[in-house]
Chains A and B, each alone.
Chain A
């Protein structure tokens, strides 16, 4: 079963790479326009120590930004649940914030926060905040009102009910949003680095692009994909850890 599941995507990727390789060789296209996958692989291997060093900064910014987004989103979701007034005021702001193109405001963060890691963290947090916050708020709203009433009769306070019912009820939705945010996180950090930084995968890519070293650009893209996949897998792992009941239930039917 698992083997069959893996076979299909692996087969397609292999076919794609082979076609690409063959295409580059047959047409004799220049490597500064489009390097062959084999060449990218060799570059990736040679550059691995350098790429690893640049990845560290990117990964740190991505993780810190994602964490900040999650913390703020959780706090805000609880607050919005606690006060309908806050909710009515903030929800539209959330949606409007999402319509502001991050790439156009990111340069401002460079001006405000310098070339260090902080502006990247802010960009990542902004990109990740919306999917996490919305999935959390909607998940909490989906909690069974009868369940909430039952706990009210038992004498639990509103905060206790948020902790005992609303947060757990929102977990499946929250993790779905977190997975989307997780895949955005590395991208957000790289965009932040494009605009100005001393090191990071975004810096590495900008330099390589300016030098027409497209094999290096592709090598960096491979690393970005791998890191994003890793974050995705980590989130899935935490989801299983946090909601064993959810996966038990699904395993049942």
Chain B
């Protein structure tokens, strides 16, 4: 098993008008090969900051970040990042957007586009290859952004609340579909959310964070069988896990 991501005692404070704002207070977590890991915590607790640190966009004050078991790896080579906003380039068609990450690697663009075209049906974007992002619905934009992330072909996907802006029904459909995509590509996933059901339904393991400054206050194995079915959210096991997480979110302890 390769250790795809290892965070050890990562801490970060921002300075705001001379006052120090502690955001991360010694977060440790790990993601293994082909694993689906959820990271849940209240809004504003520092989840996106943690992602920025993994991506190398923000320097931690202390702690270690190892990607693929090594320090000092350029993040873009190991992880593919999907920020909270879809950030599709408005001036590029869907097809040109989803292949974007591969352009940085100077691969043969015809081959990459062919690969993308074959995947359009899986991402529900057939027929929209040549549309501009502004012409898509919210769910389609999210799927296009996810396709761009998956198509980068990195070993780990970092997904930051990808379904946060969607309505509940679309959201449920997207969750099941995401598992299907994950099954297809088997990249490791670190999935940020503030929705408890979503965290459990998708993941092999869940980390629960405290309010700012964030620490890991609970670490749970989700021993529900795969493939996951919608009905599972009402099983006793699911509810027991949910209760544990709720308690951790409320009292900051397992």
Contacts and interface: CB of A to CB of B under 8 A. Distances in A.
Question: Is chain B a partner of chain A in the same complex?
Answer: yes
Interface of A: 144, 146-147, 149-156, 160, 164-165, 168-169, 171, 243-246, 248-249, 252
Contacts of A160: 104
Interface stretch (B75-83, B185-193, B204-212): B75-83
A168 B101 contact: no
B87 A155 contact: no
A168 B104 CA distance: 18
A247 B100 CA distance: 23
Given A249-B132, A252-B135, A153 B75 contact: yes
Given A149-B57, A150-B83, A245 B105 contact: no
A245 B132 contact: yes
Nearest to B102: A154
Contacts of B132: 244-245, 248-249
Given A150-B81, A252-B135, A155 B91 contact: no
Contacts of B135: 248-249, 252
A182 B127 CA distance: 39
B87 A150 contact: yes
Given A153-B81, A154-B100, A164 B89 contact: yes
Contacts of B57: 149, 152-153
Select the residue from A168, A245, A252 with max chain B CB neighbours within 10 A: A245
Select the residue from B76, B83, B85, B89 with max chain A CB neighbours within 10 A: B89
Interface of B: 52, 55-57, 74-77, 79, 81, 83, 85, 87, 89-92, 100-101, 103-105, 132, 134-135, 152
A146 B101 CA distance: 15
A151 B55 CA distance: 11
Given A146-B83, A160-B104, A153 B56 contact: yes
Contacts of B79: 153
B85 A155 contact: no
Contacts of B89: 147, 164-165, 168
Given A154-B101, A156-B104, 8 more contacts: A149-B57, A152-B76, A153-B79, A164-B89, A168-B89, A245-B134, A246-B91, A249-B132
Contact of B74 (A151, A155, A245): A155
A169 B91 CA distance: 8
Given A153-B56, A252-B134, A147 B87 contact: yes
16 contacts: A144-B87, A146-B83, A147-B87, A149-B57, A153-B57, A154-B152, A155-B74, A155-B104, A156-B103, A165-B89, A169-B91, A171-B91, A243-B91, A245-B92, A248-B135, A249-B132
